[in-house]
């Protein structure tokens, strides 16, 4: 039941000793990267006498990665690098993360460990519907599945008809998919009269790469008739395989032999105690080409206290609530897009896609929530639709503390991204960054 029993169930004291050892080795290696050499000096920031001393080191941010593009964070000779991944970089320089052969192997092993934990075995057929390319989502679990020995189908996202054909043809048992696409595919099953329980061999799905709620997971589990596990990762820390749910489905074990986990107050940077919500900060412990120290992920979560019944000793983080930079301020009220999703997914008549728009009307912010309904919902009377709109408005008002304008739409009327879903469009002149 464990891919690597010794690593996964290591006694906390041994695990922390290993972390300190690896942290000090990382600090030394990082001194070869121009950015950290300038920051800490040629001898590096260590050795630190204990793990808590990491709080004395400065953070690394996405802006630092951008500003020191392309080689500022490279800590090995270029000839030892076998791959790079890069983020799109819609503003300014992209960010780039380099990997040595050993980095890739360690990442593949974490991905295999994560998938094995949920019950994936050699005999499984793994259909990988995540994007490949510079994005780490697809290729990350691809390597993990091959290492595990499962038959891997690198199909990528989109083209639901073809996805379905492959699922039937090769009796796919495990999929890796964006939650937004899993919802849309559920609608496609319904339209084509496919009953996944009867017509398909699916057992497990991994969803990740974008924020989603517990309600969304449950909905996918119900419609698909399978177990759905949350998978967390980011390119800066390799990609998927950083934190993953075990069969207990009570938060994601963050692989602490490879990363140091801290939660900090996003405003002050102060380290927060277990259980408190804040920004996840990660330090890589086993990476050679691009070691990162105290990287601010901007992802909001908390450490879940207490041990897990599965026997793994690595601490668990809660479902990502959103990014510190995707909080919306509507007439002074703070809210997160996930609060909207949570409310919507509880309503059975609501379909698989929604969009939040923020408008400026008469110098006031106005929240518009556009939601697609299931086909059946339109078969009712107009009065029923009005009643539904009123109910959804009330529920959103109760959750958010502001009253949105709710627009009910037919299935397929909102834009559907092939990559990560775009859930918020801010049309205010200030862009919501304070007027």
Report if residue 195 touches Zn ion, rule: CB under 5 A: no
Q: Which of 36, 98, 107, 135 binds ligand ADP (CB under 6 A)?
A: 135
310 binds Zn ion (CB under 5 A): yes
- Closest to ligand ADP by CB, 60 vs 235, is 235
Buried/exposed code over 346-385 (b: 16+ C-beta within 10 A; e: otherwise) = ebebbbbbbbbbbeeeeeebbbbbbbbbbeebeeeeeeee
107 versus 229: smaller Cβ distance to Zn ion:
229
Within 380-399, the residues that bind ligand ADP by CB under 6 A are none
**Residue 323 binds to ligand ADP (criterion: CB under 6 A):** yes
The span of 40-48, 268-276, 304-312, 384-392 binding Zn ion (CB under 5 A) equals 304-312
Number of residues that bind ligand ADP (CB under 6 A): 17
Which C-beta is closer to ligand ADP: that of 234 or that of 285?
A: 234
Nearest distance, CB of residue 86 and Zn ion, angstroms: 33
**Minimum CB distance to ligand ADP smaller for 87 or for 100:** 87
Interaction of residue 115 with Zn ion, rule CB under 5 A: no
Question: How far apart are alpha carbons 14 and 6 in whole angstroms?
Answer: 11
User: Which of ligand ADP, Zn ion, none does 246 bind, CB closer than 5 to 8 A by kind?
Assistant: Zn ion
144 is an interface residue for ligand ADP by CB under 6 A: no
Place of tokens 């728009």: 357
Nearest approach, Cβ of residue 58 and ligand ADP (Å): 20
Q: How far is the CB of 254 from ligand ADP (least distance, A)?
A: 12
Between helix 101-117 and helix 136-148 the angle, nearest 10°, is: 70
Residue 18 CA to its chain's centroid (Å): 26
Q: Which helix (H) or strand (E) holds 22?
A: helix 12-30
The site for Zn ion, by CB under 5 A, has a size of: 5
For the chain, the C-alpha Rg in angstroms (whole number) is: 22
Residue given tokens 């992920």 in the structure block: 297
| Residue 252-291 contact track with ligand ADP, rule CB under 6 A, x = bound | ----------------------------------------
SS3 for 263?
strand
User: Each residue of 239-255: b (16+ CB within 10 Å) or e?
Assistant: bbbbbbbbeeeebbbbb
Q: Residue 45 or residue 234: which is nearer to ligand ADP going by CB?
A: 234
Q: Which lies closer to ligand ADP via its Cβ, residue 45 or residue 230?
A: 230
Cα distances from 331 to residues 366, 369, 428, 435, in angstroms, run: 8, 16, 12, 10
The DSSP bridge partners found for residue 141 are: none
**Least distance CB 226 / ligand ADP (angstroms):** 17
87 binds ligand ADP (CB under 6 A): yes
Contact between 155 and ligand ADP (CB under 6 A)? no
Stretch that binds Zn ion, among 143-151, 196-204, 239-247, 273-281 (CB under 5 A): 239-247
CA of 344: how far to CAs of 90, 167, 177, 185, 406, in Å?
30, 29, 21, 18, 11
- Distance between CA atoms of residues 11 and 294, nearest Å: 24
Letters for 216-255 (x = contact with ligand ADP by CB under 6 A, - = none) are: --------------xxxxxx--------------------
Question: What is the distance between the alpha carbons of residues 79 and 89, in angstroms, rounded to a whole number?
Answer: 25
The CB-of-358 to ligand ADP minimum distance in angstroms stands at 20
- Angle among Cα 181, 182, 185 to the nearest 5 degrees reads 85
Q: Distance between CA 118 and CA 2 in Å, rounded? A: 10
Q: Which residue from 30, 246, 317, 421 is in contact with Zn ion, where contact means CB under 5 A?
A: 246
Of 221 and 426, which CB lies nearer to Zn ion in the complex structure? 221
3-state secondary structure of 70: coil
CA distance 229 to 177: 11
Q: Which of 14, 248, 386, 410 binds Zn ion (CB under 5 A)?
A: 248
Helix (H) or strand (E) holding 395: helix 382-400
Residue (210 or 360) nearer to ligand ADP, CB? 210
Are 51 and 76 in contact, with CB atoms under 8 Å apart? no
CA distance 163 to 194: 13
Task: Give Cα 157 to chain centroid, integer Å.
Answer: 16
Residue 308 touches which of Zn ion, ligand ADP, none (Cβ within 5-8 Å per kind): Zn ion
Q: Which residue has the tokens 């994005």?
A: 135
Instruction: Name which position in 138, 140, 144, 211 contacts ligand ADP (CB under 6 A).
Output: 211
Which residues here bind Zn ion, judged by CB under 5 A? 246, 248, 308, 310, 312
Which residues here bind ligand ADP, judged by CB under 6 A? 87, 135-136, 208-211, 230-235, 297, 299, 320, 323
């Amino acid at each position: 039941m464990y891919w690597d029993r010794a690593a996964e169930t290591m006694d906390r004291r041994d695990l922390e000793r290993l972390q300190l050892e690896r942290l000090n080795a990382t600090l030394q290696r990082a001194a070869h990267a121009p950015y950290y050499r300038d920051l800490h000096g040629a001898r590096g920031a260590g050795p630190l006498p204990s793990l808590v001393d990491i709080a004395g080191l400065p953070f690394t941010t996405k802006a630092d990665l951008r500003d020191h593009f392309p080689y500022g964070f490279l800590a090995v000779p270029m000839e030892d690098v076998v791959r790079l991944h890069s983020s799109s970089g819609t503003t300014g320089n992209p960010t780039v993360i380099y990997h040595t052969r050993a980095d890739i192997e360690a990442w593949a092993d974490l991905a295999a460990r994560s998938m094995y934990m949920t019950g994936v075995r050699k005999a499984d057929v793994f259909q990988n519907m995540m994007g490949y390319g510079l994005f780490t989502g697809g290729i990350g679990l691809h390597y993990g599945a091959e290492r595990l020995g499962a038959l891997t189908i690198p199909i990528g996202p989109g083209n639901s008809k073809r996805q379905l054909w492959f699922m039937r043809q090769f009796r796919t048992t495990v999929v890796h998919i964006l939650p937004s696409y899993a919802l849309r595919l559920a609608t496609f099953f319904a339209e084509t009269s496919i009953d996944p329980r009867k017509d398909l061999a699916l057992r497990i799905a991994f969803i990740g790469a974008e924020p989603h709620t517990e309600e969304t997971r449950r909905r996918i589990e119900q419609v698909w008739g399978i177990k759905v596990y949350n998978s967390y990762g980011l390119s800066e820390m390799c990609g998927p395989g950083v934190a993953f749910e075990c069969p207990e489905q009570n938060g994601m074990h963050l692989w602490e032999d490879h990363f140091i986990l801290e939660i900090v107050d996003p405003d002050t940077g102060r380290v927060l105690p277990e259980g408190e919500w804040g920004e996840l900060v990660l330090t890589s412990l086993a990476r050679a080409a691009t070691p990162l120290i105290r990287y601010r992920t901007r992802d909001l979560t908390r450490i879940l206290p207490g041990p897990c019944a599965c026997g793994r000793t690595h601490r668990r983080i809660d479902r990502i609530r959103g990014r510190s930079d995707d909080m919306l301020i509507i007439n002074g009220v703070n809210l997160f897009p996930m609060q909207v999703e949570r409310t919507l997914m509880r309503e059975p008549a609501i379909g698989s896609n929604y969009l939040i728009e923020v408008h400026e009307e008469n110098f006031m912010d106005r929240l518009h929530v556009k939601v697609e309904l299931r086909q059946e919902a339109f078969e009712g009377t107009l009065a029923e639709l009005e009643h539904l709109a009123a109910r959804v408005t009330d529920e959103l008002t109760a959750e958010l503390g502001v009253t949105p304008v709710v627009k009910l739409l037919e299935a397929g009327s909102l834009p559907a991204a092939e990559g990560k879903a775009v859930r918020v469009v801010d049309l205010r002149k200030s862009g919501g960054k304070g007027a």
